């Protein structure tokens, strides 16, 4: 995902330069260095272990009372 973010940043900045607009910075050098440190240390945020669901997956909703609202349909993949 980091590579994708950096690719998008570079692509946007190439186009911005072509049309005379300012460049953007999605991840600064300090943040990038820290991300690389965490990747090298195999550290995941909030005790994640890397097996968590992705953000683009459809999951049942867990309600405040602990009950689960199942998906009514399975989206096309």
End-to-end CA distance of the chain: 20
Cα distances (angstroms) measured from residue 38 to each of 22, 25, 41, 58: 30, 20, 5, 28
Pairwise pLDDT comparison (43 vs 59), residue with the higher score: 59
Q: Tell me the mean pLDDT in the region 61-75.
A: 89
Nearest to 27 by CA among 17, 43, 12, 41: 12
Residue 12: exposure state from Cβ atoms within 10 A (0-12, 13-18, ≥19): middle
- The pTM (predicted TM-score) of the whole model is 0.55
């Amino acid at each position: 995902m980091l590579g994708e973010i950096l690719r998008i940043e570079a692509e946007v900045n190439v186009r911005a330069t072509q049309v005379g607009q300012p460049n953007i910075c999605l991840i600064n050098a300090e943040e990038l260095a820290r991300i690389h440190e965490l990747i090298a240390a195999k550290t995941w945020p909030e005790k994640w272990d890397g097996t968590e669901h992705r953000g683009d997956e459809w999951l049942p909703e867990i309600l405040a009372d602990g009950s689960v609202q199942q998906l009514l349909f399975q989206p096309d993949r």
